[in-house]
């Protein structure tokens, strides 16, 4: 693959209703605006979410993720626009009549009820029989591994245990749409991965649609069919995890997901390749570099652009690589060791530090590259993405 | 950790018990002692009095003169148990009325915009700035046959002759409910205000109508406030003297009034003290029940 313009989805499943123009979305946000007084929490936002999607919302604190969920659940009225569920306007339907359940960021467990009663609450309201409730609650308790705690009140549980009760409670009614506001944040890594897996399983088995807010991008990448990156009440980019990671459309998105280096460059020439641009550019130290865009952009010859390079796509070597392009010389000023990989912070100019990652094939003490070493950084010609400055 | 530490600790733990001792237990024992004494034409009006100069023998003599005949007397004269029962009834009913009136007030306050809540709270406490006695007397002006209430009702054409309210039990209920309403509203407000809005939202999300969510979430979580408010009204109401005296009629029987008559009109301190001790024991019943209830709640948690 020589161009980055292609879809990166070949690895994931065939499930991609958003590319099918005949598919009808389960949820439609149509020009939705939500204001609190003068403050605009959601700004003229339009979005389609399809049945059986696992849709992740990512964004910095206060960007409006919870607000979007509260609009869907019906706790908040919208200021402008419409929200459709299955083609019907739900703006005026009260929360208890929406086929939507929410897991609250604050858990909102009923303090006067024990674990069982909390989990069975929704089923009881539905008027399910005692036996039915008992079976379902047991199933859910099994799922979230709270067998020893069924009779405890929320205040007698740890943070992670409470989170699991909240999760089980929101799953109990098998809603059409489940809203999960940071559902796994308080769990340890093992349990979190296990629960992620369970969630994906559940979603597949029950055909539910999930919308999840998370601050853990790895989690979003793992579970989501699509990710929406938000900023100040707006959607910046909505795409599959692979697209978001490999083909971010802006510096904001590239920076938000994973680690990335931005290096300034000036465009020398542009060639069009299908529906993307292939750019040759020069860095400030006259190094020639290649870069691609993910779509036809407004970048022109002579423009300054950002070269966006993921650390794992940059190789670190002591010997000078062949060729005269896509390489930089610098000094190692720091090494971040996280076990499986090491991140080398390499100073290439007075105010430019580039991070490059290397898998630690050798044991730590046999490391060939160390502090203050002169090294060469180099990358493939399709590794760098050009982003508008 | 030397001696200093344990002394400081002792003072820290001991202080509240010390206050309890001198402000509660000690006066109680004086009253209890008087209740076991006999009426006498003397100053103070009862015997025996403890005489330090007699030493050990004096102490023995002192104790030999104490007896429980004042208590047996209370059971013989129907006036007393009738007063107790009537007080109990008036206190219970007015507590219930106060709860019914206070709850909506407290609920509305807790739902009011945050910036108004302090003001509303002030308004609830405002009556305390005037003397309790004056406020109760003011009700005479409202309730008497030619008072504000009757005039208003006559003018509106709802009634054609004045209602007799003053000097009846109804006036006593009105007086008690009015006077003790703040004691009900404040703890109710405190417990309602603490309820996390997201709990109601969670209940709505899981299928409750607004009314049902109130019933299964708000109300149970307000129980501590309800209990506290009921105690704060019930306990002083049962021994209330001023309100039945000022607003009640001759047929209004309340133990506080009986006690006052015993004490000041008959100058029978020993019987009056016995009445007070029994009243205290009666009040212990609901308090102990409440403790049991709390324990049960704690146990249910584990
Ligand atoms: N009831 C409200 N009144 C006024 N402003 C509000 C209200 N609720 C939310 N906001 C504001 O709206 C913005 C979005 O809030 P929201 O809770 O959706 O953020 P978020 O993206 O979920 O953040 P976090 O990741 O911290 O949970 C915030 O700036 C917040 O201060
Ligand atoms: Mg949030």
Query: Which chain B positions have a beta carbon within 8 Å of A94's beta carbon?
Result: 204, 209-210
Contact of A160 with A186, CB cutoff 8 Å:
yes
CA-proximal residue: ligand 1, atom 27 (nearest): A61
What is the distance in A from the centroid of ligand 1 to the CA of B206? Answer: 23
How far is ligand 1, taken at its centre, from the CA of residue A40, in Å?
10
Domain boundaries defined on chain A: 17-253, 259-387
> Residue A63: CB within 6 Å of ligand 1?
yes
CA-nearest residue, atom 3 of ligand 1 = A36
Task: Please work out whether the CB of residue A62 comes within 6 Å of at least one atom of ligand 1.
Answer: yes
Mutate to test the interface with B, among A69, A77, A95 (most CBs of B within 10 A): A95
pLDDT at B302 over 60: no
Q: Does B207 touch chain A (CB under 8 A)?
A: yes
Looking from the CA of residue A182, the nearest atom of ligand 1 is 27
Going by alpha carbons, the residue nearest to atom 19 of ligand 1 is A62
What pLDDT is stored for residue A13 in this prediction?
A: 54
Whole-angstrom Cα Rg for chain B: 25
Task: Give which of B205, B215, B298 to mutate to test A binding, by max A Cβ within 10 Å.
Answer: B205
Counting atoms of ligand 1 from 1, which one is nearest the CA of A64? 18
User: Which tokens belong to A197?
Assistant: 């897996």
Partner-chain contact B201 A73, CB within 8 Å: yes
The count of C-alpha atoms lying within 13 angstroms of the C-alpha of B124, restricted to the half-sphere facing its C-beta, is 22
Shortest-distance atom of ligand 1 to CA A36: 4
CA–CA dist B49, A306 (Å, integer)? 100
For helices A189-206 and A159-171, the axis angle rounded to 10 degrees is: 0
**Is A101 part of the contact surface with chain B (CB cutoff 8 Å)?**
yes
ipTM of the complex: 0.83
Domain boundaries A259-387, corresponding CATH code:
2.40.50.100
Minimal Cα distance from B204: which residue of A?
A: A96
Q: In what order do the strands lie in the sheet with A100-103?
A: A100-103, A177-181, A209-213, A54-58, A226-231, A234-239
Q: What is the pLDDT along chain A (389 residues), one digit of tens a residue?
A: 333 344 454 444 578 888 888 888 999 999 999 999 999 999 999 999 999 999 999 999 999 999 999 999 999 999 999 999 999 999 889 999 999 999 999 999 999 999 999 999 999 999 999 999 999 999 999 988 899 999 999 999 998 899 999 999 999 999 999 999 999 888 888 888 988 988 888 888 888 999 999 988 889 999 999 999 999 999 999 999 999 999 999 999 999 988 999 999 999 999 988 888 899 999 988 899 999 998 888 888 999 999 999 999 999 999 999 988 999 999 999 999 888 899 999 999 888 999 999 888 877 666 788 889 999 999 999 999 999 88
Q: Which of B193, B208, B49 is nearest to B112 (CA)?
A: B193
Is residue A344 within 8 Å of residue A355, measured between CB atoms? yes
Q: Are A82 and A107 in contact (CB under 8 A)?
A: no
Task: Tell me what pLDDT residue A364 has.
Answer: 67
Tokens for B90, please give them.
């008036």
pLDDT tens digits, residue range B232-257?
Answer: 999 999 989 999 999 998 888 999 99
> Domains in chain B, ordered, with CATH?
77-301 (1.10.3720.10)
Calculate the average pLDDT of chain B. Answer: 90
Position B5 scores a pLDDT of 65
pLDDT tens-place string over residues B121-161? 999 999 989 999 999 999 999 999 999 999 999 999 999 99
Structure tokens at A282: 């020069």
Neighbours of ion ligand 2 (CB under 5 A): A 66, 105
Name every chain A residue with its beta carbon within 8 A of the beta carbon of B201.
73, 75, 95, 104, 108
pLDDT, tens digit (0-9, with 9 covering 90-100), for A137-164? 999 999 888 999 999 999 999 988 999 9
Q: What CATH homologous superfamily does A17-253 map to? A: P-loop containing nucleotide triphosphate hydrolases (3.40.50.300)
Specify the pTM: 0.82
Does the CB of B206 have a partner CB in chain A at under 8 Å? yes
DSSP string, B25-78: IHHHHHHHHHHTSEE-SSSSSEE----GGGHHHHHHHHHHT--SHHHHHHHHSH
Contact B204 A169 (CB under 8 A): no
Task: Return the exposure string of B155-194: e unless at least 16 CB atoms fall within 10 Å of the residue's CB, then b.
Answer: eeeeeeebbebbbbbbbbbbbbbbbbbbbbbbbbbbbbbe
Hey, is the C-beta of B144 within 8 angstroms of any chain A C-beta?
no
C-beta A41 within 6 A of ligand 1: yes
Closest CA to A86 of A50, A57, A114, A115: A50
Please report the pLDDT score of residue A365 as a whole number. Answer: 67
Assign B232 to helix, strand or coil.
helix
d(CA B203, CA A96): 8
């Amino acid at each position: 693959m020589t161009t980055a313009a292609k879809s990166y989805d070949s690895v994931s499943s065939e499930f991609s209703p958003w590319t099918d123009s005949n598919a009808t979305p389960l949820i439609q946000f149509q020009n939705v605006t939500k204001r609190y007084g003068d403050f605009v929490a959601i700004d003229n936002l339009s979005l389609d979410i399809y049945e059986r999607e696992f849709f992740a919302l990512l964004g910095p604190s206060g960007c409006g993720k919870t607000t979007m969920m509260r609009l869907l659940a019906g706790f908040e009225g919208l200021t402008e626009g419409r929200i459709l569920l299955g083609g019907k306007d739900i703006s005026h339907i009260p929360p208890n009549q929406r086929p939507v359940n929410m897991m609250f960021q604050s858990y909102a467990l009923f303090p006067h009820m024990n674990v069982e009663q909390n989990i069975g609450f929704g089923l009881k309201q539905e008027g399910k029989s005692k036996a039915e409730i008992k079976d379902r609650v047991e199933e859910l308790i099994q799922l979230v591994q709270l067998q020893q705690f069924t009779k405890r009140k929320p205040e007698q549980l740890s943070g992670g245990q409470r989170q699991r009760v909240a999760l089980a409670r929101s799953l109990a009614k098998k809603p059409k749409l489940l809203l999960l506001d940071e559902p796994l944040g308080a769990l340890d890594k093992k349990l979190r991965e296990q629960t992620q897996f369970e969630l994906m399983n559940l979603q597949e088995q029950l055909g539910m649609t999930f919308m999840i807010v998370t601050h853990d991008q790895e989690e979003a990448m793992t579970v989501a069919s699509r990710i929406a990156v938000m900023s100040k009440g707006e959607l910046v980019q909505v795409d599959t995890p692979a697209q978001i990671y490999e083909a971010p459309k802006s510096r904001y998105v590239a920076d938000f997901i994973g680690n990335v280096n931005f290096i300034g460059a000036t465009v020398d020439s542009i060639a069009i390749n299908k529906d993307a641009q292939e750019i040759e550019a020069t860095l400030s130290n006259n190094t020639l570099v290649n870069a691609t865009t993910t779509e036809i952009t407004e970048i022109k010859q002579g423009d300054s652009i950002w070269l966006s390079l993921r650390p794992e796509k940059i190789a670190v070597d002591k010997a000078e690589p062949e060729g005269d392009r896509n390489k930089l010389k610098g000094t190692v000023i720091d090494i971040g060791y996280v076990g499986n990989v090491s991140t080398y912070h390499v100073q290439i100019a007075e105010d430019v530090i580039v991070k490059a990652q290397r898998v630690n094939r050798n044991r730590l003490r046999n490391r060939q590259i160390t502090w203050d070493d002169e090294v060469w950084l180099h990358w493939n010609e399709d590794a760098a993405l050009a982003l508008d400055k | 950790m030397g001696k200093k530490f344990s002394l400081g600790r002792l003072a820290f733990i001991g202080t509240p018990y010390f206050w309890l001792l001198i402000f509660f237990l000690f006066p109680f024992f004086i009253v209890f002692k008087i209740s076991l004494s006999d009426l006498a034409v003397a100053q103070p009006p009862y015997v025996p009095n403890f005489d330090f100069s007699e030493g050990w023998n004096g102490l023995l003599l002192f104790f030999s003169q104490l007896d429980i005949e004042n208590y047996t007397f209370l059971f013989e004269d129907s006036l007393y148990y009738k007063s107790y029962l009537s007080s109990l009834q008036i206190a219970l009913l007015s507590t219930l009325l106060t709860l019914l009136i206070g709850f909506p007030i407290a609920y509305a306050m807790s739902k009011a915009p945050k910036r108004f809540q302090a003001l509303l709270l002030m308004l609830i406490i405002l009556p305390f700035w005037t003397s309790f006695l004056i406020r109760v007397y003011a009700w005479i002006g409202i309730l008497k046959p030619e008072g504000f209430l009757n005039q208003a009702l006559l003018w509106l054409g709802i009634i054609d002759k004045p209602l007799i309210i003053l000097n009846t039990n109804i006036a006593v209920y009105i007086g008690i409910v009015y006077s003790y309403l703040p004691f009900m509203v404040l703890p109710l407000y405190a417990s309602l205000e603490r309820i996390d809005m997201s709990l109601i939202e969670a209940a709505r999300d899981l299928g409750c109508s607004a009314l049902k969510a109130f019933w299964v979430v708000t109300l149970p979580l307000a129980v501590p406030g309800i209990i506290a408010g009921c105690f704060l009204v019930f306990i002083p109401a049962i021994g209330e003297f001023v309100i039945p005296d000022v607003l009640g009629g001759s047929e209004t029987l309340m133990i506080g009034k009986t006690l006052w008559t015993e004490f000041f009109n008959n100058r029978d301190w020993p019987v009056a003290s016995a009445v007070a001790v029994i009243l205290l024991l009666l009040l212990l019943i609901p308090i102990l029940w409440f403790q049991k209830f709390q324990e049960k709640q704690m146990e249910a948690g584990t």
